[in-house]
Amino acid sequence: MSFDYSRLTATCAVDSPDKATTLPPEAYGSDELYAAEVDRIFKHGWVPLCRVEQVPTPGSYYSIDILGTPLVVTRDRHSEIRVLSRNCSHRWMEVCSGAGEANVLQCPYHLWSFGLDGHLAGAPEMKKSSGFDRNDYPLKKFRHEVWKGFVLVNFDGQAESLASQYAALDPIVDPYDLENYQTVEQTDWGVCDWDWKIMVDNFMECYHHMGPHRGSLEDRFPASLSYTGEVGDHFTTMWSQQVAGYPSDPPFLSPGAETLTAHHKDKSLIFIGYPLLQIAMGPAYMYWLKTLPLGAGKIELQLDICMSPAALAAPGLEERRSQLVKTICDIHREDIDACTAVQRAVRSGVTSTGRLSHLERPLWEFYRYLGRELGIINPTSTLASTG
């Protein structure tokens, strides 16, 4: 059955957050809609792959599959970061997997080898192939940019630069020294049976603190104190405010950079750089969801946890690191249960479109973004500060 865009259009076209509604349930399981999202959103936009510290030195590489495309992020001998295809340019076997260090990436099939800048360095027994020129067969390169320590890829090569898209986001995150946070734990949650949009919905509101997180977050970071911050066509921010009287202590709120003001020290900043860069951070920590869409209603999920330079330099690092990792993973398990239940409900076919709370304004912003990118509502600038 063909996807009916009319109800999706109605949601995305709502012109005020006061009237915001949920997406229609069928939007979370339509193969037709997912194909449109791949073409118009994921391939046209910027998709996060890793942090620069995950390719720390010349010769480092980091493998990741996204949208069915095997990629490798490398740092070549000149310390330049590249995003390359992992498929050999001969007969397409993958030239590497996982992460590590190497002088060349060598295909295990016919032993063609490639430099970490993608050039074909060696091709055994090809001298008798008339007209063969190694320069004609490098690994395919993909356009990439680095923002605040994140490596992102743009598949179609046509996206507006990240510097332009996130210009209004820079002053919000700059006080944290985000580009110098360091990854301290990578966690893999495997294949998850919910849609990528459910992941964004859950991540970008604290309303559910009073439900799934009532025993972990609600007392200290209650839903009622959360609020939407500055928004733009390519990002939305939200703040999770701590109840007065709690100390600004580890693992979330200290220690932090000297550039942070009192405004930052009792809050967590949660934001999304559309479509998939989902970050929660505070003075001492940052984690981000590496959401890898696999199809309608299915993703692969990784969660990488980072610590701030100040937190890394303070005494008792291992104890604080362990506490941070355990706390974030415990909270994430609560989110997994919620996302699983929501996808199960929308698959039942008995759900209908609902209303959103004022605490869910970031979802309204997200749906407006979807509508613009899918071409079902008129593109208009949304830059605003809601405080």
Query: Can you give the pLDDT at residue 378?
Result: 86
pLDDT greater than 60 at residue 148: yes
Q: Indicate the pTM of the whole model.
A: 0.94
**pLDDT single digits (tens) 339-369:** 999 999 999 987 889 999 999 999 999 999 9
Summarize the chain as % helix, strand, coil (round to 5): 30, 30, 40
- The mean per-residue pLDDT over the stretch 264-270 comes to 95
Give mean pLDDT, residues 219-233: 97
Does residue 102 carry a pLDDT above 70? yes
Residue ranges and CATH numbers for the domains of the chain are 5-45+159-374 (3.90.380.10), 48-147 (2.102.10.10)
The percentage of the chain sitting over the pLDDT mark of 90, rounded to a whole number, equals 94
**pLDDT reported for residue 250:** 87
Confidence of residue 193 (pLDDT cuts 50, 70, 90): very high
pLDDT tens profile 80-93: 999 999 999 999 99
Helix (H) or strand (E) run with residue 298 in it = strand 298-307
Residue 379: is its pLDDT beyond 80?
A: no
What is d(CA 242, CA 286) in angstroms, rounded to the nearest whole number?
Answer: 17
Confidence of residue 301 (pLDDT cuts 50, 70, 90): very high
Q: Which residues contact 96 (CB under 8 A, 6 or more apart)?
A: 61, 63, 72, 86, 102, 105
CA distances from 183 to 30, 154, 288, 312, 313 (A): 35, 23, 10, 10, 14
Q: How confident is the model at residue 385 (pLDDT cuts 50, 70, 90)?
A: very low
Q: What mean pLDDT do residues 99-122 have? A: 97
**Helices (H), strands (E): how many in the chain?**
8, 18
CB proximity list for 66: less than 8 A, separation 6 or greater: 47, 49, 153, 292
Apex 25 CA angle, 23 and 28, nearest 5: 90
Residues 6+ apart with CB under 8 A from 385: 229, 230, 231
